[in-house]
Amino acid sequence: MADRGRIPRLIGRSRNQHPRPFDDVVLITGATSGIGAGLATRFHARGAQVVITGRDRTRLSAMAAEHPGMMPVVMDVADPESVRRAMNDIESAQPHVTTLINNAGVQRPLDFSAKELPAITDIAAEIATNFTGLVDVTSTALPLLRRAPRARVVHVGSGLGFVPLTAAPVYSATKAAVHSFAVSLRHQLRYSNIQVVELIPPVVDTPLHRSMQAAPPMAMPLDKFLDSVMAGLDSGGDEIAIGLGRVSIIGSRLAPSILLRLINRDSPPP
């Protein structure tokens, strides 16, 4: 059990403004870079109490120092004990959570046609971060979400969950699982105070693609993507598909084989 007196209640906000109902207390996983960091700064600028989580204490502290009022909490979504310690700390500091954004993710290029097959440790770590950790964080956060008058869970999926990038097969499969989980969770919580939102991005220019020599072709600039996300969240919809993410959904239903070839046209043959 975590020391519940370790983190003081943070009641100050970044601006003297009344936040939107869903913006009261926003908890974001994987919040120290890319989409997570971008969303954290956007909500912080709107006056929300933002709880940022990640594995790297130094990066969390630096981000909180740059944005006074953010609450940094170390949490490795792939480690159930870490998730529970972090949630205990958050519960000791906040009355509830109004928005949970499951953003933490990792993408690895894995080639199952190679002579040297991918290591099971790499496969398991990717699944644990992208999917089982997302399910665990959601389940563990539900009591805090239920305490709010209105709350929402936002799962960051991907257009690759509908049409896979074959060079990243495990990542694509985990995002397909995120979509399925979002649909089921939305159905189970339909009579509760909790909305379930699936965010379906296109390729966005973020450190997620750090293993690549350059940003992927047609990658959307992060700021442009964040503008669309915030507008989509404010609209109140259950599904926010942006740019090529929306194209992937439509294409997977109307012309799946054609879109599969287009997305993977630069992939080398086995």
Instruction: Tell me how far apart the alpha carbons of residues 74 and 53 are, in angstroms, rounded to a whole number.
Output: 5
Instruction: Tell me how far apart the alpha carbons of residues 68 and 100 are, in angstroms, rounded to a whole number.
Output: 20
The answer to whether 171 is a known catalytic residue is yes
β-bridge mates for residue 156, sequence order: 199
Catalytic residue among 171, 178, 201, 248: 171
The confidence score (pLDDT) of residue 266 equals 64
The confidence score (pLDDT) of residue 256 equals 83
The confidence score (pLDDT) of residue 246 equals 85
What's the Cα-to-Cα distance from 96 to each of 49, 105, 121, 146, 206, rounded to whole Å? 11, 24, 35, 8, 30
The confidence score (pLDDT) of residue 120 equals 97
β-bridge mates for residue 220, sequence order: 204
Q: Environment class of residue 162 by beta-carbon count within 10 Å: exposed (0-12), middle (13-18) or buried (19+)? A: buried
Can you say whether the dihedral through the CA atoms of 170, 217, 207, 249 is positive or negative?
negative
- For the chain, list residues with pLDDT below 50: 1-16, 209, 212, 214, 269-270
The confidence score (pLDDT) of residue 268 equals 52
Within the chain, how many helices (H) and strands (E) appear? 9, 7
For residue 33 the two structure tokens come to: 């870079």
Assign 3-state DSSP to the chain and report helix, strand, coil percentages, each to 5: 45, 15, 40
For residue 80 the two structure tokens come to: 């159930």
Instruction: Tell me how far apart the alpha carbons of residues 200 and 98 are, in angstroms, rounded to a whole number.
Output: 21
Q: Environment class of residue 121 by beta-carbon count within 10 Å: exposed (0-12), middle (13-18) or buried (19+)? A: exposed
Terminal C-alpha separation, the chain: 50
Q: Which helix (H) or strand (E) holds 59?
A: helix 57-66
The confidence score (pLDDT) of residue 216 equals 56
For residue 3 the two structure tokens come to: 């020391």
The confidence score (pLDDT) of residue 203 equals 86
Contacts of 188 (CB under 8 A, 6+ apart): none
β-bridge mates for residue 200, sequence order: 241
Instruction: Tell me how far apart the alpha carbons of residues 51 and 43 are, in angstroms, rounded to a whole number.
Output: 10
The confidence score (pLDDT) of residue 259 equals 84
The confidence score (pLDDT) of residue 15 equals 42
CB atoms within 10 A of CB 97: 26
CB atoms within 10 A of CB 49: 26
